[in-house]
Amino acid sequence: MKGAPTDQKWHVPATEDSPHEGGFRAEIDVTVERGGPRYGELIEQVRTFMDKVRYANPTPELVDEIISDLQEFNAKLDTVLVDEWTSPSGTRIDLPARGNITLPPYEVVDGGEHGVTATVEFRPFHLGGNGVAHGGHVATAFDDLGGMAAALNVHGICRTAYLTVNYRSLTPLSTPLMLRTWVERRDDRKLFVKGTLHDGERLCADLDALFIALRRGQA
C-alpha cells in the first residue's frame, strides 16, 4: 500500500446520464500501470532535482547548460500530454502520494472509513527556513490525507471548506513522520476531520478541518 488504500473501491460507476460523480469523473480511474514500471523512479528523480535546485549555487555557465537540458525534457513531454484523469501523476495508487509530484511523498499504511495512517517525509526542497519544513507544505499533506479520510468515509470525493493547522513544534526534513487523519463527526454532507503529525512521540502539528461531500455533478 503506498499512495492510497488499494483494497478500497475507487471506481464509482456513472449513473443516469451523468458522466460525473461529485464534479469529478464518475469512474476515478486509479491505476498501477499507467506510465510504466519505472514511472515512480521518474517522479523520484524530479523530486531529487528539486532538492538539488533548492540548495545549489550554480555558475552562470551551468545554469545555461541545465536550461538547455530542461528545454529538451519539456519538449519530450510535450508530445505525450494528457488530461488530469489519464495522467499517472495523482492516480498511481501504488506510488508514494499517488505519484503526484506536487505532494509531499507519503505512504499510506492503513486507510478506510475509520481514517488514514500514513508515513510522510518532507524533502529538502520543502524547506521553510532554518532547516525545517515550510508550514504550507505541512498543510498540503494534511489537506490531501484529510481529504482522503473524508473520501473513504463517504465513498466519494469531498472538497475542503476550511483547514486549520496548528503548528505545535518544528517539523523536520528528511525524517519519516507519522500522519493520521480521521472523521471525528459527520453531519450530512459535512465531515469534521481531525489530524495529527508526529515525529516519534513529539507532536509537530494538528489539524481541524471541514470537508464537504460534493453533490452529483458539483464542481
- Sites for ligand 3IX among residues 12-51 (CB under 6 A): 28, 30
Which range, of 40-48, 102-110, 119-127, 141-149, touches ligand 3IX by CB under 6 A? 141-149
How would you list the strands of the sheet with 202-213, edge to edge?
106-112, 115-120, 177-187, 190-199, 202-213, 158-167
Q: Based on CB atoms, which residue is closest to ligand 3IX, 91 or 153?
A: 91
Q: Based on CB atoms, which residue is closest to ligand 3IX, 66 or 190?
A: 190
- The DSSP string of 59-86 is -HHHHHHHHHHHHHHHHHHHTT---TTT
Q: Based on CB atoms, which residue is closest to ligand 3IX, 51 or 206?
A: 206
State the DSSP code for 14.
P
Cα–Cα dist 27/34, whole Å? 16
Q: Is 198 in the site for ligand 3IX (CB under 6 A)?
A: no
Number of residues that bind ligand 3IX (CB under 6 A): 22
204 alpha carbon, distance to own chain's centre: 19
Q: Is 183 in the site for ligand 3IX (CB under 6 A)?
A: no
Cα–Cα dist 115/191, whole Å? 12
Q: Based on CB atoms, which residue is closest to ligand 3IX, 88 or 126?
A: 88
* Cβ atoms of 165 and 135 closer than 8 Å: yes
The CB-of-23 to ligand 3IX minimum distance in angstroms stands at 9
Three cell numbers at 197? 503529525
Q: Is 161 in the site for ligand 3IX (CB under 6 A)?
A: yes
Residue with cell 500501470: 33
User: H or E element: which one contains 182?
Assistant: strand 177-187
**Number of continuous H segments (helices) and E segments (strands) in the chain:** 3, 10
Q: Based on CB atoms, which residue is closest to ligand 3IX, 97 or 173?
A: 97
Q: Is 97 in the site for ligand 3IX (CB under 6 A)?
A: no
The CB-of-173 to ligand 3IX minimum distance in angstroms stands at 23
Q: Is 144 in the site for ligand 3IX (CB under 6 A)?
A: yes
Q: Based on CB atoms, which residue is closest to ligand 3IX, 154 or 205?
A: 154
Which positions lie near ligand 3IX, rule CB under 6 A? 4, 10, 28, 30, 90-91, 93, 98, 143-144, 147-148, 151, 159-162, 189-190, 210, 212, 218
